């Protein structure tokens, strides 16, 4: 076999095909032809390592050429063709191999069979005589250029995969695939760990489904069937629990993926999964926290409220707002106009100034009066505080409004003592922090009693004469909740004290008395007054909620208070047990009750008696 020479101008320039001189391994048993081929390749600018067939594989392992040009007849000792022997070794899959035939034109049929055999065993190209020098050089240059392009593309893919892996590792995302035809999965170690599996455990659909929580399995199976339906969009997105097959640990997983279709058939699926156990735990904790907050707000006598600072809109008002402000929370517009108008004109600027301080991130407190729709006046102590976002910026305004009408504004009414005694007693009580209002006559006090603030009465029985017991009895008869502390001189006769207590006084103080003894008795009486006022507030709230029930719900409530069951109440009212159950649930919700015991307590506070 000889090469046919061609003009040098027809030769390809290897410098145009590759960036630097490539190393070509030339393997041929015919020394004359090997030398001629080496000359042609070297003259074209490539580095050439020329050896005979016996040294071909060893030389290839040693020098790692960029291209191999070899005799098609070279065989390994085990008769394995040269190309096949190299392809079985790591690192030689991407090196181009061109095999040269030694057949003549008369052996054309054998040449075709040899070509097919060479290509089947891993050769990239095959040259049969006769061929021109330029054809050989063109094929070598072409394969070197294609090899360089493949290497560059492989490098870009590796770099891209590296960046993708780094990004996935950074956020904990795992990529996976699924073959819908064979039900075989490909998972990385991170997904295997979610399922409690080792790195060598086999994966298929049965393993995948075995790890999914029984409560979520049917939903996941349905979603997988939907995403492989050619009639759909192939999109898959699910969030479910996984119970580790090997470790029994419950984890939450969220996954997104898409199915690829071909000719109306699902052929592959690629997805990404990430463990979200901590997020789900945080969400559960947040829901539990919100539930506790609403439970607290539902039963608190203080008004809890939240305002959006950006839009100055009311976002939340607790149920106690109705008992304090006299309006249902749902009746309040989102704006602050009605709330501002409810504040007493003399206190409005002070309250709004306290709210303004929260805009700059400071907590504040204010006491102010409000006017209710029924004309009543309540004293409010409001605590304002900022609610900050993750950046520390105040974006919500929260507050706790307490009705202190029966607390911070209690008074001690000194009645009936002579002027000197009234002044001395008033001075002593005032120094102790009490607000004191004296009355020189019992009748003047009784006339004013209905309009007085909550508190207690210090009544001088001796100075009041027969009016002393009258004052106590009349307060009791008129249901005016002002506890009476009687003071006087019994002279050793306990009958006077007994009469005062029988009339309704809560305590008796023997004169002369010490300041400490008087202050202790007054404090006890005021505590009794505050307790009574709080009971009245609870009763008012309970009465308001019960009044909002429908007639049928009221009938069901009365049946519950009488100890009836759903069936007995249904029989009595001519309803189905299911209908009674629905009314009962709404009654519980409306009253803010979780158990029948809570319902009984609310009914008792509202002074609602069960029917006989």
User: For 196-241, how does the pLDDT look when each residue is reduced to its tens digit (9 = 90+)?
Assistant: 998 888 888 999 999 999 999 999 999 999 999 999 999 999 999 9
Of 136-150, 188-202, 533-547, the poorest mean pLDDT is in 533-547
CA dist 180 and 208 (Å) reads: 13
Residue 257 has pLDDT above 80, yes or no: yes
pTM of the model: 0.44
Give the tens place of pLDDT for each residue, 549-608. Answer: 888 888 888 888 888 888 898 888 888 888 888 888 888 887 777 788 877 777 777 767
CA dist 488 and 78 (Å) reads: 129
Calculate mean pLDDT across residues 254-258. 94
More confident residue, 75 or 240: 240
Residue 5 has pLDDT above 60, yes or no: no
By CB atoms closer than 10 A (0-12, 13-18, 19+), residue 464 is: buried
Give the tens place of pLDDT for each residue, 317-361. Answer: 888 888 888 888 777 777 788 888 888 888 888 888 888 877 777
CA angle 169, 175, 176 (to 5 degrees): 145
Give the tens place of pLDDT for each residue, 180-191. Answer: 989 889 998 889
Residue 23 has pLDDT above 70, yes or no: yes
CA dist 128 and 131 (Å) reads: 7
What's the token pair of residue 34?
């090997």
What lies within 8 Å, CB to CB, of 108 at 6+ separation is none
What is the percent of the chain with per-residue pLDDT over 90, rounded to a whole number? 18
Specify the pLDDT at position 66: 92
Of 53-57, 117-121, 136-140, 537-541, the poorest mean pLDDT is in 537-541
Calculate mean pLDDT across residues 491-510. 79
Q: Are 542 and 612 in contact (CB under 8 A)?
A: no
The per-residue pLDDT of the chain, averaged, comes to 82
The DSSP bridge pattern shows strands 455-460 and 411-415 to be parallel
What lies within 8 Å, CB to CB, of 377 at 6+ separation is 344, 369, 370, 371, 405
Residue 541 has pLDDT above 90, yes or no: no
Specify the pLDDT at position 215: 94
Of 63-77, 356-370, 525-539, the poorest mean pLDDT is in 525-539
Residue 16 has pLDDT above 50, yes or no: no
């Amino acid at each position: 076999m000889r090469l046919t020479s061609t003009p040098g101008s027809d030769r390809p320039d290897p410098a145009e095909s590759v960036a630097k001189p490539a190393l070509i391994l030339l393997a041929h048993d015919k020394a004359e032809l090997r030398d001629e081929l080496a000359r042609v390749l070297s003259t074209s600018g490539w580095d050439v390592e020329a050896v005979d067939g016996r040294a071909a594989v060893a030389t290839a392992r040693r020098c790692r050429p960029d291209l191999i040009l070899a005799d098609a007849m070279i065989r390994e000792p085990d008769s394995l063709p040269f190309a096949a022997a190299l392809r079985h070794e790591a690192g030689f899959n991407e090196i181009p191999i061109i095999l040269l035939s030694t057949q003549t034109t008369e052996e054309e049929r054998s040449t075709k069979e040899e070509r097919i055999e060479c290509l089947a065993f891993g050769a990239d190209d095959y040259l049969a005589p006769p061929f021109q020098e330029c054809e050989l050089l063109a094929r070598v240059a072409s394969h070197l250029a294609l090899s360089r392009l493949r290497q560059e593309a492989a490098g870009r893919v590796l770099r891209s995969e590296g960046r993708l892996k780094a990004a996935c590792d950074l956020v904990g995302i795992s990529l996976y695939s699924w073959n819908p035809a064979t039900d075989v999965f490909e998972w990385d170690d991170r997904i295997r760990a979610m399922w409690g599996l080792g790195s060598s455990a086999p994966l298929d659909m049965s393993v995948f489904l075995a790890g999914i929580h029984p409560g979520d399995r049917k939903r996941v199976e349905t979603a997988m069937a939907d995403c492989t339906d050619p009639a759909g969009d192939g999109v898959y997105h699910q969030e479910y629990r996984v119970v580790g097959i090997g470790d029994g640990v419950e984890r939450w997983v969220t996954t997104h993926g898409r199915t690829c279709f071909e000719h109306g058939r699902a052929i592959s699926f690629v997805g990404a999964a990430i463990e979200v156990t901590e997020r789900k735990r945080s969400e559960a904790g947040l829901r539990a926290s919100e539930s506790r907050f609403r439970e607290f707000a539902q039963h608190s006598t203080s008004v809890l409220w939240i305002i959006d600072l950006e839009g100055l809109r009311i976002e939340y008002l607790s149920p106690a707002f109705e008992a304090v402000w006299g309006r249902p929370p749902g009746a309040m517009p989102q704006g602050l106009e009605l709330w501002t108008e409810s504040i007493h004109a003399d206190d409005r600027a002070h309250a709004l100034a306290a709210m303004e301080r929260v805009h700059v991130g400071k907590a504040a407190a204010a006491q102010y009066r409000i006017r209710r729709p029924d004309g009543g006046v309540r004293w409010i102590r409001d605590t304002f505080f900022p609610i900050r976002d993750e950046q520390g910026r105040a974006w919500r305004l929260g507050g706790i409004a307490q009705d202190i009408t029966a607390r911070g504004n209690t008074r001690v009414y000194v009645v009936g003592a002579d002027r000197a005694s009234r002044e001395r007693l008033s001075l002593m009580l005032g120094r102790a922090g009490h607000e004191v209002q004296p009355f020189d006559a019992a009748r003047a006090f009784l006339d004013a009693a209905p309009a007085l603030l909550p508190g207690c009465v210090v009544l001088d029985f001796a100075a009041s004469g027969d009016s002393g017991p009258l004052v106590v009895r009349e307060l009791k008869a008129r249901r005016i909740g002002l506890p009476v502390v009687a003071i006087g001189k019994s002279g050793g006769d306990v009958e006077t004290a007994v009469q005062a207590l029988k009339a309704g006084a809560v305590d008796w103080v023997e004169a002369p008395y010490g300041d400490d003894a008087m202050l202790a008795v007054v404090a006890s009486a005021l505590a009794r007054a505050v307790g009574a006022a709080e009971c009245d507030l609870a009763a008012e709230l309970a009465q308001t909620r019960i009044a909002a029930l429908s007639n049928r719900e009221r009938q069901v409530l009365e049946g519950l208070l009488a100890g009836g069951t759903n069936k007995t109440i249904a029989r009595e009212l001519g309803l189905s047990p299911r209908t009674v159950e629905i009314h009962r649930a709404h009654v519980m919700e409306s009253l803010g009750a979780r158990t029948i015991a809570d319902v009984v307590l609310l009914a008792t506070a509202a002074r609602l008696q069960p029917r006989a």
